[in-house]
Structure 1
Amino acid sequence: MYLAIAIKLSIICIIQAAAQGDTQVCSGCCTAPAGIPGIPGSHGNPGGPGPTGMKGDVGEKGEKGNQGSDGRDGLPGKIGPIGLPGATGEKGGKGEKGEQATTISQPKSAFSVAYNVNPDRLPVSPMKYPLIITNFGNDYNKETGKFVCQHPGIYVFQFTSGSSSGNDNILTSIKKNGQRILSSWESGSGYKSASNMVVLDLVANDEVWTEPYSTSHNYYYSSSYIYCSFSGFLLYASA
């Protein structure tokens, strides 16, 4: 509305100036009234970050804080390499003379006996080996065919039986104080042999020997080559 009035006043001034021939510019009639202020515009978008400022001065050192609590123990480290050998130490002085050691005699017992002749059939009783190869300690009795323990301890016994019969078998046992401990069995035709071994814990006067199992499995063969033998020895004495 105000704009329309201003336009009309401007037109009137122009017409009057033309009619009067006035060359001077209209100073009052042609001046329009001030307009109403416009509505404020919207805020613009934020500008981009400015350039990095200059580095400031180093601040003063602060006061020392309280001591913190101990941290947890770390994991064990790896074992380091072996170090170089150290220097040789000085030779030590001569030690004092001690008492002379007493040598304790260890008991010994060992034997090996055999048939160097053909035994053929034998009675069901302790086998009496005629050939004494070794009898250290004289613990094997040739007359009875028995080993008699004189030194308590752990003993090892072994025997071998040979046969040449085509049909008969032989079965030999090791006995301790009359009790059968173990046996060996031989079967088949032609020459044959069988062995066995045992470890026994004996006390004084225990007896050990070999014996045929029966009269029906009893045909031994030996010669100067020795196919039938019996051996034993003390492994270690009891404390």
Structure 2
Amino acid sequence: MYTSLPAITSLILITVSSLLLGVTSQTDQSGTCNSCCQGPAGIPGIPGNGIPGSPGNNGSPGNNGLPGRDGLKGDRGDIGSAGPAVKGLSWPLGPSGEMGEPGPAGPRGIPGKVGPNGMRGSPGLAGQPGPIGEKGSNGTAPEIKQSAFTVIKTSSQTLSGSEVLTFDRVETNIGNHYDTASNKFICHFPGTYVFTFTIASDSVSHNPWIALMKDGRKIAAAHVRDSANDFQQSSITVVLQMATGNEVWLRNADTRTRTVYSNSNGYTTFAGFLLYG
């Protein structure tokens, strides 16, 4: 059913008035409730035809609310599967660009390791002969050092004390370094010498015992024991380092009397020579 705006407005006013009258009648001046004596409500009036009021202004913004509590941490999700690998497309190389201008020379680097030797080249051509030099003067030949001797005893000799054994036949005396007066070899060239001697005894000799001496020091000795009453010999060979002026000779090696046998056959000898100087 359609109701006009003035009718609606009248009905609202009648309803409000009835409510106000009902409230007033419930309590008298003495404060006694008269609701039990209230009659039934009246029929609502016809609504009035008032014009609606204009909308009110927006209220002021309210204060910000308090922050809410943090929510519970959710469960970790499953790891997703890897997607298919996609191989990129390969493109052909483009054409080379033009060479640019050379840049400035950089600093010199550290020298590298020495490489292996290269192969030997072929020999070069022979050069032209040089001019003939001037003839030099004749030089002097180097001095040849020679020293050697051999002396032989042709008769027997009985020795006592430290008596020197003598020799009466000189077979070799290169350089005359063997002194026949003293029966001693005197060194003129320093170096290494070899000395050797042989002594003999017969049935009438008295066990000859002879020592080789160098400047008063006994070097070696030879002894012949003739207990068999027969001819016997004994020999000694030594190598000595000699200095200029050193002397070598033979003498009796015992304080008792000894006899050395020899004859023209030369059974008793003494020899020496320079090995190298």
Q: Does TM, normalized by the shorter one, top 0.5? A: yes
Taking the TM superposition and a 5 Å limit, the aligned residue runs for 1:39-118 are 45-62=83-100, 64=103, 66-75=105-114, 77-78=116-117, 80-81=119-120, 86-103=124-141, 106=144, 108-117=146-155
Residue type at the aligned position of 2:241: V
Q: CA offsets, 1:91-110, max 9 Å, x none?
A: 43332233333456656443
Q: CA offsets, 1:112-132, max 9 Å, x none?
A: 112244x36434322211221
SS in 2 for 1:229: strand
CA-CA distance at 1:74 after TM superposition: 1.0
1:188 and 1:48 mapped to 2: Cα distance? 119
2:244 equivalent to 1:202 = yes
Q: 2:197 aligns with which of 140, 144, 160?
A: 160
Q: Structure 2 vs 1, CA of residues 90 and 49 (structure 1 numbering), >3 Å: closer, same or farther?
A: same
What residue ranges of structure 2 are gaps of 5+ in the alignment?
1-79
Q: Structure 2 vs 1, CA of residues 194 and 70 (structure 1 numbering), >3 Å: closer, same or farther?
A: farther
Q: CA offsets, 1:182-202, max 9 Å, x none?
A: 113447777452313212101
What residue ranges of structure 1 are gaps of 5+ in the alignment?
1-41
What corresponds to 1:230 in structure 2?
Answer: 270
Q: 1:139 aligns with which of 169, 177, 187?
A: 177
TM-score normalised to structure 1 length: 0.58
CA-CA distance at 1:75 after TM superposition: 3.7
Q: Structure 2 vs 1, CA of residues 49 and 78 (structure 1 numbering), >3 Å: closer, same or farther?
A: same
SS in 1 for 2:159: coil
Q: Structure 2 vs 1, CA of residues 148 and 233 (structure 1 numbering), >3 Å: closer, same or farther?
A: same
User: 1:168–1:217: 8 Å Cα contact kept in structure 2?
Assistant: no
User: 1:184–1:196: 8 Å Cα contact kept in structure 2?
Assistant: no
SS in 2 for 1:172: strand
What corresponds to 1:193 in structure 2?
Answer: 234
1:187 and 1:86 mapped to 2: Cα distance? 75
Q: Structure 2 vs 1, CA of residues 116 and 79 (structure 1 numbering), >3 Å: closer, same or farther?
A: farther
Q: What is the total number of aligned residue pairs between the two structures?
A: 189
- Structure with larger Rg: 2
What corresponds to 2:253 in structure 1?
Answer: 213
Residue type at the aligned position of 1:145: N
Residue type at the aligned position of 1:77: P
Structure with the larger RCO, 1 or 2 (CA within 8 Å, 6+ apart): 1
Q: 2:220 aligns with which of 169, 178, 183?
A: 183
CA-CA distance at 1:66 after TM superposition: 4.5
Q: 1:127 aligns with which of 133, 148, 165?
A: 165
2:213 equivalent to 1:174 = yes
Residue type at the aligned position of 1:138: N
Residue type at the aligned position of 1:64: G
